[in-house]
Structure 1
Amino acid sequence: MTEYKLYDDQHLVQLMRSDERAFAEIYDRYWDKMLGVAYNRLGNLEEAEECVQDVLYKLWKLREDLDLVSLELRSYLARAIRNQAFNILDRRYRERVKHGNYTPTEDIYLLSPERELIIRELQQQIDDSINALPPQCQLVFKLSRQQGLSNKEIAETLNLSENTVKSHLKKANKDIQGNIKLLTTLVFFYTFL
């Protein structure tokens, strides 16, 4: 009996044309990975399973014509999952629009307690970063971002040159971004992964 686990992907693709056990090995080898990717994109286990099943069904239907000489099976399946997930998301969007249940801002206002906490922590980190700026730089930043004054208006108000105002804003942005970079990275991983 042939041990399909020992074959590489290219060989399995070739064998799959005449032996469904090779397809079963591809299924076993990639099901969990594909399901994980689909679930991350769709956020719904049922739809993710449907997505993976559709991709594997298409792979089976195309087995006679499939030529993966220049592309690895892993890359092919990843791209197929991504495209199928986009199709499902598009279908989901069209159904919501069709039934009139879609408002673009609807999800923004539905914050979980975890997301509210993350937003509060991020805002606190930004405030702390602003307060850590040198006094002149802090004043320029607040006039620009909080009061909406232009660089020229700030320069006239504080009796500074526009280039000095630009320098202060550049420094403020750099310092604030540097201070919140770790927190935003953590927020990103928590939210999207």
Structure 2
Amino acid sequence: MPIPKKVHQLFTKRRKALVALAYQRCRSYSDAEDFVQECFARAMNVHWDEVEKPDAMLATILLNVIRDSKRRSRHSAVVFIDDYADTIKASPDLTPSPEQHLVHKEALSQAFDAIATLPSKRQQIFRMRRIQGMSRSAIANATGMTIGAIEKHIERGLQDIRWAVDKKVKSAKRALKDSET
């Protein structure tokens, strides 16, 4: 297919700007070059005599090429487990040891104990958000508090729980390490 003279002139004039625009969107020079090439191929099908703003049309074509590519890459990311069955079989067993299981079980128990020691309002809000899965706005409606206050209670609750659990886990790990030696 012969290249229309108008398309050739337009691309000769605007190629660097198109590559720069594509690079700005994808941060890869080679991908930017590919996108501009695809833009050129699509531009061959445009009736340029009817286009009032050729630069804008080229930019639109290029941005559509980039969007189409991103859309395709999202859908092509499906991985089939059968393709990796040999790799999975050869992987080391990641099941926790009985000792690790005990430490994790103890940590979970300590987390529930830590939740129980929170001030009643903070405990109520923490349970509503983290255990019942309620949204911040739903909690605010149920308690009559502001969303900001809800967020502070959740944040402080998490800090209190982390501190308590870390303290207990470190203690349990030390005890486990001492028993091994």
Given the two structures, how large is their TM-score scaled by the length of structure 2? 0.44
Given the two structures, how large is their TM-score scaled by the length of structure 1? 0.41
Kindly name which structure, 1 or 2, has the bigger radius of gyration based on alpha carbons: 2
Q: Which of the pair is proportionally richer in helix?
A: 2
